[in-house]
Amino acid sequence: MTTGAGVHLTSLSRSYSGVAALDGLDLLVEPGEFVSLLGPSGCGKTTALRILAGLETADSGRVLVGGRDITRVPANKRDMGMVFQAYSLFPNLTARDNVGFGLRLRKMSGAEERSRAGELLELVGLADQADKYPHQMSGGQQQRVALARALAIRQRVLLLDETLSALYAQVRVQLREQIRRIQTELAITTLFVTHDQEEALAISDRVGVMSRGRLEQLDSPGAVYQRPATPFVAEFIGVTNSFSGSVSGSDLLLADGARLPAAVLAEQPDGAPARVLVRPVDLHVAAEGQLAGTVLTHSFLGPVTRLAVRLANEDVVRVDVPSAAAAASPVGAMVRLAVEPGSAFLAA
């Protein structure tokens, strides 16, 4: 069926009344690849997507799809399927007619249009809703119709703009699995914009973390999670505890004299102020631990239980322990915490 085209964005810049939304963005997406752009709001991810779709124009830089420069091609000649955050279905058309909208523009016959629209509704599991109007469908169903509509035109690139953000948690997970399945099946080049890091990590071949109009890191989900390339990425991915102090060899010296092993500090000058980040999963309750504190609360999260621990300096850190072992550190207990060697990241 569809074979995706590669996408190449080169030094895209765009500013709105003096504020840079994109600041020389470079991005290369392989044919058939699923890439997520992840970042806080205002980082430029949506602007990048809209420039690729042709809905915005870049101040400078080029957009190449399948090796062809389409920087000046208008949106309606680009053959890109776009799925918006919400409410993008035409309210006056049934699900089938929505899916058929782009087909009719491609001079497809009525019968062909019907059968292809039916096929796509089948693909997203909504064959029985073909004659419903958008206002008669749930949010999740509407987004699936929007997906079918975008897929119908045999687009070269599929663009997903916060497509799942307006949905309930459960529907969200279901739909993202469905999108990934269809995308893999059809091998469509897909660019997905989201602010939800869990979503981006779960669904993508590669994740691009953006900040201030630039790409901070573009890598596989595992690499982004385990080896954040910059302090910004480290902070943005995953819940993190933050420790401030000064560099002392390859340790962080805290104000109360406690030492926290942090190999990342080895190259920093001694005595310089520094902040490091540690994931809750990389803190352990251990008798020989370097940090002391009092357990404040337990939050049961299934396989692990997350403890909130108040340290001597009044900071509260989060520590994940296996749920079976949580009873050993009851609320109010004094505990010592150890840091998993090599797990600390340098903070921005």
Partner 1 sequence: MLPALGAVPFLAYVGVFLLYPTLVVVGGAFVDDDGALTLQNVRAVVGSPYLEAFVRSLQLSAITAVVGAVLGALLAWAVATGDPDGLLRRVVTSASGVLAQFGGVTLAFAFLATVGFEGLVTVALREQGIDLFAGGAWIFELPGLVLVYTYFQIPLMVIVFLPALDGLKPQWREAARSLGGSAWTYWRRVAGPVLAPAFFGSMLLLFANAFSAYATAAALVSQGAPIVPLQIRNLQTSEVLLGQQNLARALGLGMVLVVAVVMALYALLQRRTTRWLR
Contacts with partner 1 by CB under 8 A lie at 53-55, 74-82, 84-93, 101-102, 105-106, 135, 146, 149-150, 153, 159
The secondary structure element, H or E, covering residue 167 is none
Which residues are within 8 A (CB) of 318 and not within 5 positions of it... i.e. 6 or more apart?
239, 241, 280, 283, 306, 307, 308, 309
Closest CA to 313 of 254, 262, 266: 254
* SS3 assignment, position 304: strand
Rounded to a whole number of angstroms, the minimum distance from the CB of residue 256 to partner 1 is: 52
| Residue 181 beta carbon to partner 1: minimum distance, rounded to whole angstroms | 23
Question: How crowded is the C-beta side of 319, counted as CA atoms within 13 Å?
Answer: 30
- Residue 345 amino acid letter: F
Nearer to partner 1 by C-beta: 54 or 293? 54
**Beta carbon nearer to partner 1, 152 or 253:** 152
In this structure, the chain runs to a length of 348
Q: Which is nearer to partner 1, 84 or 225 (CB)?
A: 84
- Between 5 and 53, whose beta carbon lies closer to partner 1? 53
* Residue nearer to partner 1 on the CB measure, 93 or 223: 93
Nearer to partner 1, 52 or 218 (CB): 52
Residues 56, 49: Cα–Cα separation, whole Å: 9
Reduce the DSSP state of residue 202 to 3 states and report it: helix
**Residue 255 zone, left/alpha/beta (φ > 0; ψ -120 to 50; rest):** alpha
In the complex, least distance from residue 28 CB atom to partner 1, rounded to whole angstroms:
22
Nearest approach, Cβ of residue 94 and partner 1 (Å) = 13
Residue 172 C-beta: closest distance to partner 1, Å: 19
Minimal distance, residue 85 CB to partner 1, in Å: 8
User: Interhelix angle for 95-105 vs 139-152, to 10°?
Assistant: 20
Structure tokens at 136: 């008669």
Strand-pairing partners, residue 339, are 283
| 162 vs 251, beta carbon nearer partner 1 | 162
User: What is the H or E stretch that residue 104 is in?
Assistant: helix 95-105
Distance of closest approach, residue 191 Cβ to partner 1, in angstroms: 13
Q: What angle do CA 95, 98, 101 make, to 5 degrees?
A: 150
From the CB of 308, what's the least distance to partner 1, in Å?
Answer: 42
| CB 150 within 8 Å of CB 123 | no
Q: Which is nearer to partner 1, 85 or 230 (CB)?
A: 85
Q: Are strands 157-161 and 189-194 parallel, antiparallel or unpaired?
A: parallel
